[in-house]
Structure 1
Amino acid sequence: MMDSGWTIPFIVRDQLVNLSEELSQETLDYVQNDYLDSAVQTASDPETGDLYGLPMFTDYPVMHYRKDLVEDAGYDPEGENWATEPMTWQRFSEIAADVWEQSGVEYGFTTQADEYIGLSCCTFSETMTSWGGAYFGDHDNLFGPVGDRPVTVNEEPVHDTIRMMRSFVAGPGAENALDGYQQVTNTDVFEFDEEDARGPFASGDAVFMRNWPYAIEATVGYDDSPITADTYGTMPLPYAVEKGEGNYEGTGGSSHAFNGWHLSVNPHSDRLGDAIKLLEAFASEDVMLTILENVGHLPPDPAVTEQANPDNVGAIGNHLDTLAVAAENTVARPVTTIWSDQSPIIAEEVHAAYRNEKSPERAMSDLEERLLEIENG
């Protein structure tokens, strides 16, 4: 089993079995036609398109919120279809600021903004995408070709992504902030990873939280959390520009970082036939549903999530409609042979701009130069 975030996109062909040559045509058609594009993309050779991993389960974040606090503040999440219809970041900031003020809790919003891999691969990537920006232009370039693709971080949508976060932590009147976007949290989030963000939310001290689906099961009914299944809300992540209206192909609209795991086969196995049969078995709606119900892992076919019986899947059962929308709007991290060198400097420069140690323009100009150096070897 391999992490989709690190291995498959730059596989060495003699280290894994080419599943396009071994799986049945029926299974290959199912994978290509019904699996999440991000899952298939990260399991395929970026040059040939051949499949070297079978997506087994997936993961993608959503916006979590306190339904009770939101409703007490006068909002109607069900009537406004928050669960399936993404709102703009500007509207989100207005609501979060209002509920934060009315509720008196510590945070209006928590997220992961520490200087670590989660910033470059996920929270910044997905928010930048929702603004219409990108690391390397069109998303066809996510996995290369290294050295022969544009570096597009020093552009207005990327600058505005940073400015929005400046507004979120310091208000629209702060230096390098974005007018019209309200303060919804404070600089504490610059030290937060996933559990740091979940802690205040689970204890009742935050209105909204960006996090992965695990947070639902980890919060409802545990750690003396005041949040119950009935008061736990989720919705797709907000967006800044409409889908398809960004600067590059694949950008704009509600965007969610993709993560997950794939099954692959060692070409030196003396039980290759049995291994292929096992993979064929996993490419089944019934098996995916069983894994979802018993383990809670989201399937690579979003239709299975959408069709699951909410009563059989635990705490996430109330959120399957939101998860289905998020699944259809995932963005893969740009993993190549040089991503391990690029990811830390992305986090470093973005974090410096978030903290206002550099202006967005200066930080992204510096990042552009550093990424190009790595791209060009």
Structure 2
Amino acid sequence: MGRLLVLLVALGLTVGGCRRSSEEAGTGGRTRIVFKFQPLWGDPKPFRELLAQYERANPDVELVTEALPNSSDLAHQFFLTSLQGGATDFDVLVADVVWVPEFARAGWVADLSEDFPPERLRQEFLPGPVDAVVMNGRTYAVPWYVDVGVLYYRTDLVPRAPRTYEELRRFTRDAMAKTPGIQGYVWQGRQYEGLTCNVYEAIWGHGGQSLGADGRVLLETEPAREALAYLHGLIADGLSPQTVTGFGEEESRRVFQEGRAVFMRNWPYAWSEAQAEGSPIRGKVGIAPLPTKDGQPGWGTLGGWQLAVNAHVSPARRKAAARLIAHLTSPEANRVLALHYARNPPRMALYDDPELRAEEPFIAGLKEALVRARPRPVTPYYLLIADVLQSEFSAAVAGLRTPEVALTRAQKQVDHLTGEQPPEEE
């Protein structure tokens, strides 16, 4: 999603004379803090001004900003290596939604509960992002901007967005029968994290949960079996192309945007591409929550980025870092990121903001889907189990294993990696 105009920064962003980081005190006796983040896309001026506002309000702080690679995997590896080694050369860091439990359990990110009480976060922010940053009643990060899986549909080919899986199948069959050569439903079926997002959305849509009451990752369940059978069935019945098992976000988007598919599951970024001048489907696309088994609005997978504080830095730097996070996650900062960088706000009230609704009606219209967004299993072991989930989910979707066999294998491996034990039978 977003306005892909220019790269905000190639290797870093300088604000108010900021220099590259060191562990020395700031000039003039000021406290120096370093903000590590992934570059935004768009005109850099609004974000520079946002950072400059912080410096003007905190004359005792010297702010240094350093950009990370856009690759999530590379950024995670950087933080993993640095924080594990006790690095103190940065203070505020961005964290993917699945990193926070891992970093919190390891003691690498500071407890921010005093500055950002969980109760206040739950009052002001969307529920899914808060669930991803609050663990055991303590706050370890603050949502910066969010994302969610949604359903795209061709308004010229189907009567409305399907509410149930059966409607999705029926609408797809009817549209394919009336439009020879068109494909049905495209989604992310390649063996990678995008597939895991699609599978969890189907699990939730069949009434399942990610975690048990004891925190155990739940895989060997009836909703999970139904979810994998549903996804494999789409391919087996020809409603999704066989090639979907090699699709990521961009492969799905290209097929849909070229007018070659009826439905698509993707992230909100694809909307601006679909509506771009010259797009074959411009003005012919709708967006809706994902369908479910019983017709409730679906639960899309939560995506997005959070801001956290390096637990290794001094108390003075922690305080300055917390003030920076408060500034960058404020309603005004949410508005700036939405209006200038098309980043979805995590604050609930912004979706009723008159300026946002007038200038970015698409973002404002995502409120229902974002309210229902759910994180993947919130566990400090998520990065350890991700490969297992991807491998077994892929095998089931492709028909190499039955859902039952794949989920039994996945549950056994995940229990071993997390140290969990299956519940004893009564």
Please state which band the TM-score falls in when normalised by the shorter chain: 0.7 to 0.9
For 1:156, the equivalent position in structure 2 comes to 222
For 2:350, the equivalent position in structure 1 comes to 304
Contact 1:293 1:312 survives alignment (8 Å): yes
1:137-178 CA distance string (max 9 Å, x none): 35xx5xx4xxxx3x532222211112212221122xxxxxxx
Are the structure 2 counterparts of residues 92 and 273 from structure 1 closer, same or farther at C-alpha, using a change threshold of 3 Å? Answer: same
User: Quick one: which amino acid aligns to residue 387 of structure 2?
Assistant: P
Shift of 1:265: 2.2
Paired residue for 1:92, among 140, 144, 168?
A: 168
Paired residue for 2:299, among 255, 260, 269?
A: 255
* 1:58 to 2:105 alignment: no
Q: How does 1:166-205 map to 2 (within 5 A)?
A: 166-171=232-237, 183-205=238-260
* 1:352 to 2:406 alignment: no
Paired residue for 1:110, among 173, 186, 189?
A: 186
For 2:308, the equivalent position in structure 1 comes to 264
User: Quick one: which amino acid aligns to residue 235 of structure 1?
Assistant: A
Paired residue for 2:333, among 275, 287, 290?
A: 287
Q: Secondary structure at the match of 2:343?
A: coil
Q: How does 1:309-348 map to 2 (within 5 A)?
A: 309-313=356-360, 317-318=361-362, 320-321=364-365, 323-348=366-391
Paired residue for 1:239, among 292, 309, 317?
A: 292
Paired residue for 2:204, among 114, 129, 132?
A: 129
**Residues matched between the structures, number:** 324
Q: How far apart, CA to CA, are the structure 2 residues paired with 1:359 and 1:17?
A: 43
Contact 2:176 2:183 survives alignment (8 Å): yes
Q: How far apart, CA to CA, are the structure 2 residues paired with 1:373 and 1:200?
A: 39
Q: How does 1:358-369 map to 2 (within 5 A)?
A: 358-369=401-412
Q: Secondary structure at the match of 2:138?
A: coil
Shift of 1:235: 0.6
Contact 2:147 2:304 survives alignment (8 Å): yes
Are the structure 2 counterparts of residues 102 and 372 from structure 1 closer, same or farther at C-alpha, using a change threshold of 3 Å? Answer: same
Shift of 1:8: 1.2
Shift of 1:312: 1.3
Higher relative contact order (CA 8 A, sep 6+): 1
User: Quick one: which amino acid aligns to residue 192 of structure 1?
Assistant: F
Q: TM-score, normalised by structure 1?
A: 0.78
Shift of 1:133: 2.1
Are the structure 2 counterparts of residues 162 and 276 from structure 1 closer, same or farther at C-alpha, using a change threshold of 3 Å? Answer: closer
For 1:276, the equivalent position in structure 2 comes to 322
Contact 2:169 2:239 survives alignment (8 Å): yes
Q: Secondary structure at the match of 1:254?
A: coil
Q: How far apart, CA to CA, are the structure 2 residues paired with 1:343 and 1:367?
A: 10
Structure 2: 5+ residue runs without aligned partners?
1-92, 421-426
Q: How does 1:223-238 map to 2 (within 5 A)?
A: 224-228=278-282, 230-238=283-291
User: Quick one: which amino acid aligns to residue 188 of structure 1?
Assistant: T
Quick check: which has more Rg, 1 or 2? 2
Q: How far apart, CA to CA, are the structure 1 residues paired with 2:141 and 2:381?
A: 21
Q: How far apart, CA to CA, are the structure 2 residues paired with 1:275 and 1:155?
A: 43
1:189-235 CA distance string (max 9 Å, x none): 1111110110101111111100000111233216x42121x322101
For 1:8, the equivalent position in structure 2 comes to 100
Q: How far apart, CA to CA, are the structure 1 residues paired with 2:362 and 2:304?
A: 22
Contact 1:302 1:327 survives alignment (8 Å): no
Contact 1:159 1:364 survives alignment (8 Å): yes
For 2:22, the equivalent position in structure 1 comes to none
RMSD of aligned residue pairs (Cα, Å) = 2.4
Shift of 1:302: 3.1
Q: How far apart, CA to CA, are the structure 2 residues paired with 1:104 and 1:292?
A: 40
Q: Secondary structure at the match of 2:262?
A: strand
User: Quick one: which amino acid aligns to residue 6 of structure 1?
Assistant: V
Q: Secondary structure at the match of 2:208?
A: coil
Q: Secondary structure at the match of 1:19?
A: coil
* 1:43 to 2:133 alignment: yes
Q: How far apart, CA to CA, are the structure 1 residues paired with 2:110 and 2:231?
A: 44
User: Quick one: which amino acid aligns to residue 95 of structure 1?
Assistant: F
Are the structure 2 counterparts of residues 241 and 2 from structure 1 closer, same or farther at C-alpha, using a change threshold of 3 Å? Answer: farther
Q: How far apart, CA to CA, are the structure 1 residues paired with 2:418 and 2:108?
A: 25
Contact 2:95 2:307 survives alignment (8 Å): no
1:274-319 CA distance string (max 9 Å, x none): 3333322234323312221111000112331244544412xxx346
User: Quick one: which amino acid aligns to residue 101 of structure 2?
Assistant: P
Structure 1: 5+ residue runs without aligned partners?
172-182, 244-252
For 1:178, the equivalent position in structure 2 comes to none
